[in-house]
Amino acid sequence: MDRPRLVIPVVVALFWIGVPVQARTGKACPSGAGCVWDQTDFRGRRSQVPSNGCIDTNIRSAVNASDNVLEFFMGAGCYGVRAGTLQPGEETSEIKAGSATGNCSQGPVDQCSTETPSP
């Protein structure tokens, strides 16, 4: 009867040892990528910031494991009022943004400009 009680803690301990620290903390982001989460402290649903283009999503925390500067914007479409910037290797456990890009030179206008694109 004592055997099943011992097996479970041993299995849990082995799993804990085998999982990389980055994955245990919830900040797992593939090398070369920018990642955002829909909750603070790197919790919730994780999405990757495209190296070209824009991601429109509810951004509450972010990690920049890429070689690009990540730009965050309050609204959708990666233009308008900026919410912040993450240099390569930086992270933030709390941000409030609606879109992000890893490439400000995409498209006919500078996506990282504070000017609203004209039609």
CA 33 to CA 67: how far, in whole Å? 8
Q: Please give the class, per CATH, of domain 29-101.
A: mainly beta
Q: Return the domain boundaries, the chain.
A: 29-101
How is residue 15 written in tokens?
A: 């799993």
Q: Any idea what DSSP says for residue 118? A: P
pLDDT grade for 108, boundaries at 50, 70 and 90: very low
β partners of residue 56 = 99
CB atoms within 10 A of CB 35: 22
For 38-66, the pLDDT digits (tens) are 999 999 999 999 988 899 999 999 999 99
pLDDT at 72 over 50: yes
pLDDT at 26 over 60: no
Residue 27's pLDDT is what? Answer: 76
pLDDT grade for 79, boundaries at 50, 70 and 90: confident
Residue 66's pLDDT is what? Answer: 94
